[in-house]
Structure 1
Amino acid sequence: MLPCREEVLAFTKQLVNIESIVNTDGEKVIANALYTLLSSFSYFTNNPTHLTMTQTTNDDRERYNVLGFVKGAKGNSNRTVILMGHMDTVGIDDFNQLKDLACSPEELMEVLKNEDLPASAREHLNSGNWMFGRGVLDMKSGLASHLYLLKYYSEHPEELEGNIVFLAECDEEDGSHGVLSALNIFNSWKEEHHFEYIAAINADFVSPRYEGDENRYIYKGTVGKLLPSFFITGAETHVGSAFEGLDPNFIAAELTKQINYNPELSNEAYGETTVPPVSLKQTDLKPSYTVQTALSAYVYYNFFIHSWSPKDVLEKLKDQAFIAFENALTTFEERYRTFTSMSGEPYVNLPYKPRVFTYEEMEQMLIHENGDTFVTHMNKFKETLLQDTELDTRMFAARVVEEAWKWMKDKNPAIILFYSSLYSPRIELTGKTANELALINSLDQAVETMQTKYNYPIVTRNFFPYISDMSFVALSDDEEGINAVSQNNPGWGSKHYVNYEDIRRLNVPVINIGPYGVDAHKKLERMEMTYSLEVVPNLTNHVIQNLLTTIED
């Protein structure tokens, strides 16, 4: 085993001490600090072109990635492994009065000794084998593990048969501008240095899957994540004549009831099942208070996938939206009949029918009816909307749908289904290619080797269960699946764009070997040091060695 604990710990502290909250200037600070550190390594002093700090592209913020590579001196192999991890963290507001200590683990842990803590956190704090603080788990200790290996091989290139490429990316916690911007560097280095990318190893955190779970997980591939969104129109009325209209919030509530926590929308593949969707926003679009019911409502949901494509998800959710609409109308009619019976007012047949369209369907309908006039208007509308820099991609998409809806001749209530944010693609690692099979076998051998040196079970699973930048180094979706994203995102090409073909060009199988801990994104975020600082770097190193010393006949 490499004697790495103290050095990885030192790197971890160095990184954690820099407050690098996503979408703040801290992202620039940590990139500069990391670049300065790497520049001090003798290998990069002698090979300065092997290290770069590059600004993200198509980004409304100034921030940077740090990339470097070490060419092995053991033979002439072009086989190359990518080591990747993110520098940014979520915010620190949850630390409340301890915000000033969030990025100072030792001082924080000293103060926490006097706090009222859950029993497990108290046990970890007193054990001497856990570190607390923002970013210690997600994922600066993982980045420190990669940093250690980069430094080690920069000092011992004669032990490396092939090459390793190091990426420390920004903006993982929001829009993944970092890894998406790095794709061009990866692909240009592929051409310039003839790198043959055979695998990528991410170092994001892993946690217990349930209370009492003592497994330390390694993941092959990753879950995909979508943000299906719904623009819902009603029929406005004065609240004093409530049944003369149809409140879109009523339909939205029924839609959330239908979709939220619905196991029918959990995607099972290879014996593993995604958690079902859950709502992330539900609101109407009234700008201020009036006694008129809302004209429209807007809801969106987190949606994880293992094997379904974005096109599959649209089809499933269109069905679910139709069911919800029917249920809402049935309940509305039942309550209207009860009310008329109680009040003595006459019952009037309701004109409403369930109507559900995807954004692509509505847009094509409007183009067919209005031609270039509609297209020109919408393009100008988007240009104007882009001037509002406070508008995020999700609300931008909603406003585009809202504007397009104004062109609909039939204004009866309807649900419009679309995507309003980044699609993080799912990745299946099944052994279907030579590189996938080599990575799976190399990982299995590494786990077998390291398990004898660690007391807790090291277990491999098929899908990393959290959103991560792993999604952007390979692509399991076909062109039809990707088209379902681009053609149903109203902000595509203006507010939001991803060149998925850059991902397809790289298309490298990826696994996650990361630090172990609990309470990521929470005040008591903490990582277990023995596994994170000793086992993780050595596991990763064994995978690298197994991969790069694999010689084909």
Structure 2
Amino acid sequence: MAAVHKSMFSSEDELLALTKRLVQMNSIVNTEGENVIAHSIYTYLASLAYFQENPTHLAIVQTEDDELERCNVLAFVKGEKMKNNRAVVLMGHMDTVGVDDFNQEQDYAFSPDEWMNYLRSGKLDLPKPIKAQASSDDWLFGRGVLDMKSGLAANLYLISYYAKHPEELDGNLLLLAECDEEDSSHGVLSALKTLKQWKKEHDFHYAAVVNSDFVAPLYKGDPHRYVYKGTVGKLLPSFFVTGAETHVGAPFEGLDPNFLIAELTKQISYNLDLCNEALGETTMPPVSLKQTDLKPVYTVQTALSAFAYYNFFTHSWTPEEVLEKLRGQAENAFESAVAQYTERYQAYCQMHGYPVESLPWKTRVFTYEEMDKMLTALHGDAYTSHMAAFKHDLMYDETLDGRMYAARVIEEAWKWMEDKRPAIFVFYTSLYSPRVKMGEETEDEQILADALEQGVKHVQQSYDHPIVIKHFFPYISDMSFVAMSDGMDDIEAYKRNNPAWGTKLYVAYEDVNDLNIPVINIGPYGMDAHKKYERMEITYSMKVVPNLIDHVVHEVLRKGKRG
């Protein structure tokens, strides 16, 4: 095994060349480029003698329930050193975000060498740190070099190496190169079907998943390189706010929903009380991702309703707990807005000598589940049949993404409310990326945690910057769909509060729960992912990462229960 580790350290040039080839394939999410890169990777693997002799060990599989035609590439090598049913999955995504941020330099985005030369030419006024890194031989710039084609290259290198040397491998090594990570995770969700099928056909015991998404500094001047056990969860809590319409010439005769929703955003965005602490680590606070009224055209009437949604990360809170916390925030925001409104109304009356009347506005906050149950009880089949037909017909509106689809559903349901006083409705839109707490509760988790700790000590000897193990990968990733710490009851609470569930949105969380594989992230290091000057450090990404992954793979496969 030690000889194999040495060969990995000598692989830098090969890995760098492979990274550049992958970057040169424009694979922006939701474009034909996703298919191009998938077929290129498949063709490359199919050319290896191992997969020619074992063609069923390699597959290119189209995604399911997807509006676009795109594919995942999956492969596995059965080790011959000590045959057993233990298996490790190497996972990485093939797609990237777009290149609009490159502006006039878009032609360079997928040509790392040319982009580096351009950055060194002095034609751009670069910040000093970026200029220094662009001049260094230890950094590579370009779209996807960090997120995450260098990580994908490491996984491809490893599966290719063991396809050529299965006699050096205990157990089984799998590759999952998935599409659509940057948007809706159709790739990994579809791949679960293939993994379940292979588990049945080959009696695989999935002992670990090693994801290879990027890692980055957590603060300015951060010298650490991070590896992660588990990942953050991500929700998109949303709010439908109704007001009382009025002519702008008589604003105090109504209540503007934009006024309410502005206070809501003030209450939620950057609120540190909504950071979720677990295992000594704390999530980023929520922040607004959209805030708008739903008035289609200009009029001099205030809006009837408004809509907002917020990014929300979790480490230990369930979807139901988050909903209750945000109900409380909405109640506070409503009360605060009404108090400000009342104060200003009274001051206006005093200014003009008008009599002050009592105001009718009271705090009213409901979850979508409460609203739906209330309307079902009030109207029965008339309501449920109408809403089912409405949701079905709304599916034909191609201008609506899942989030706006959910807003239109709740807007329609609001029409059935008998009490039309202003209110706030709390619900979910978009898919839920489950949180993953990878502890040491099972034998596989303990083996993986030990292997990671030993691996970090092993590679740290040859690398200057400190490598630190943390519990929660801080960015949204496909790690959320190979394991989850929520129970299925928690998922049901999320479903009941998502108006798009079962029509515009469906996720087979049962597949995630069925596999539930311990997962860690060992990925390339760099800066400015999703930005124009996206870049990765070559030494860590091309030397340390593949060695560390290789060490973990060997330790996991040679320990634990064997079939």
Distance in 2 (CA, whole Å) between partners of 1:379 and 1:104 is 49
Where 1:231 maps in the other structure, the secondary structure is strand
Aligned-residue Cα RMSD (Å) equals: 0.9
Match of 2:75 in 1: 68
1:57 to 59, 64, 75: 64
TM-aligned CA deviation for residue 5 of structure 1: 0.8
Distance change (3 Å), C-alpha of 1:346 and 1:551: closer
Match of 2:47 in 1: 40
1:344 to 346, 349, 353: 353
Match of 1:295 in 2: 304
TM-aligned CA deviation for residue 75 of structure 1: 2.3
Distance in 1 (CA, whole Å) between partners of 2:22 and 2:83 is 34
Where 2:234 maps in the other structure, the secondary structure is strand
| 1:89 maps onto 2:115 in alignment | no
| 1:410 maps onto 2:419 in alignment | yes
TM-aligned CA deviation for residue 33 of structure 1: 1.2
TM-aligned CA deviation for residue 230 of structure 1: 0.1
Where 1:416 maps in the other structure, the secondary structure is strand
Distance in 2 (CA, whole Å) between partners of 1:235 and 1:549 is 67
Distance in 1 (CA, whole Å) between partners of 2:119 and 2:133 is 11
Task: Map 1:302-341 to 2 at 5 A.
Answer: 302-341=311-350
**Residue deviations 1:276-308 (CA, integer Å, cap 9, x gap):** 100000000000100000000000000000010
1:4 to 5, 11, 23: 11
Match of 2:485 in 1: 476
Distance in 2 (CA, whole Å) between partners of 1:117 and 1:28 is 34
TM-aligned CA deviation for residue 551 of structure 1: 4.8
Whether the aligned pair in 1 keeps the contact of 2:90 and 2:173 (CA below 8 Å) is yes
Distance in 1 (CA, whole Å) between partners of 2:154 and 2:519 is 17
Identity %: 61
TM-aligned CA deviation for residue 45 of structure 1: 1.3
Distance in 2 (CA, whole Å) between partners of 1:443 and 1:287 is 54
**Residue deviations 1:349-371 (CA, integer Å, cap 9, x gap):** 11111000000000000111111
Whether the aligned pair in 2 keeps the contact of 1:429 and 1:462 (CA below 8 Å) is yes
TM-aligned CA deviation for residue 457 of structure 1: 0.6
1:245 to 243, 251, 254: 254
Structure 2 letter corresponding to 1:293: T
Whether the aligned pair in 2 keeps the contact of 1:311 and 1:480 (CA below 8 Å) is no
Task: Map 1:354-433 to 2 at 5 A.
Answer: 354-433=363-442
Whether the aligned pair in 1 keeps the contact of 2:146 and 2:214 (CA below 8 Å) is yes
Match of 2:190 in 1: 181
Match of 1:494 in 2: 503
Distance in 1 (CA, whole Å) between partners of 2:352 and 2:51 is 83
Match of 1:505 in 2: 514
Of 386-395 and 510-519, deviating more is 386-395
Distance in 1 (CA, whole Å) between partners of 2:423 and 2:338 is 12
Distance in 2 (CA, whole Å) between partners of 1:138 and 1:536 is 14
Match of 1:141 in 2: 150
TM-aligned CA deviation for residue 24 of structure 1: 1.2
1:458 to 445, 467, 481: 467
Task: Map 1:138-217 to 2 at 5 A.
Answer: 138-217=147-226
TM-aligned CA deviation for residue 345 of structure 1: 2.4
Whether the aligned pair in 2 keeps the contact of 1:514 and 1:536 (CA below 8 Å) is yes
Of 27-36 and 533-542, deviating more is 27-36
Where 1:253 maps in the other structure, the secondary structure is helix
Whether the aligned pair in 2 keeps the contact of 1:239 and 1:291 (CA below 8 Å) is yes
Match of 1:434 in 2: 443
Distance in 1 (CA, whole Å) between partners of 2:355 and 2:375 is 38
TM-aligned CA deviation for residue 42 of structure 1: 1.3
Structure 2 letter corresponding to 1:95: F
| TM-score normalised by length of structure 1 | 0.99
Whether the aligned pair in 2 keeps the contact of 1:225 and 1:303 (CA below 8 Å) is yes
Match of 1:128 in 2: 137
| 1:534 maps onto 2:543 in alignment | yes
Structure 2 letter corresponding to 1:71: K
**Residue deviations 1:182-233 (CA, integer Å, cap 9, x gap):** 0000001000010000000000000011111111100000000000000000
TM-aligned CA deviation for residue 127 of structure 1: 1.2
Structure 2 letter corresponding to 1:370: H
**Residue deviations 1:261-280 (CA, integer Å, cap 9, x gap):** 00000000011000110000
Distance in 1 (CA, whole Å) between partners of 2:303 and 2:561 is 66
Where 2:84 maps in the other structure, the secondary structure is coil
**Residue deviations 1:122-177 (CA, integer Å, cap 9, x gap):** 11111111000000000000000000000000001011110011000011011001
**Residue deviations 1:362-383 (CA, integer Å, cap 9, x gap):** 0000111111111111111011
Where 2:174 maps in the other structure, the secondary structure is strand
Of 422-431 and 339-348, deviating more is 339-348
| 1:543 maps onto 2:548 in alignment | no
TM-aligned CA deviation for residue 346 of structure 1: 2.4
Match of 1:265 in 2: 274
| 1:446 maps onto 2:422 in alignment | no
Match of 2:3 in 1: none
Structure 2 letter corresponding to 1:310: P
Structure 2 letter corresponding to 1:88: D
Distance in 2 (CA, whole Å) between partners of 1:94 and 1:7 is 30
| 1:236 maps onto 2:225 in alignment | no
Distance in 1 (CA, whole Å) between partners of 2:395 and 2:491 is 24
Where 2:73 maps in the other structure, the secondary structure is strand
TM-aligned CA deviation for residue 48 of structure 1: 1.0
Structure 2 letter corresponding to 1:397: A
Where 2:393 maps in the other structure, the secondary structure is helix
Structure 1 letter corresponding to 2:92: G
**Residue deviations 1:22-41 (CA, integer Å, cap 9, x gap):** 11111111111111111111
Where 2:83 maps in the other structure, the secondary structure is coil
Unpaired runs of 5+ residues, structure 1, are none
Distance in 1 (CA, whole Å) between partners of 2:387 and 2:415 is 11
Segments ≥4 residues shifted beyond 2 Å: none
Whether the aligned pair in 1 keeps the contact of 2:447 and 2:560 (CA below 8 Å) is no
Distance change (3 Å), C-alpha of 1:56 and 1:304: same
Match of 1:105 in 2: 112
Match of 1:286 in 2: 295
Match of 1:26 in 2: 33
Distance in 2 (CA, whole Å) between partners of 1:53 and 1:479 is 30
Distance in 2 (CA, whole Å) between partners of 1:213 and 1:76 is 43
Where 1:535 maps in the other structure, the secondary structure is helix
Distance in 1 (CA, whole Å) between partners of 2:400 and 2:390 is 14
Structure 1 letter corresponding to 2:290: K
Distance in 1 (CA, whole Å) between partners of 2:561 and 2:183 is 40
**Residue deviations 1:391-433 (CA, integer Å, cap 9, x gap):** 1000000000000000000010000000010100000011011
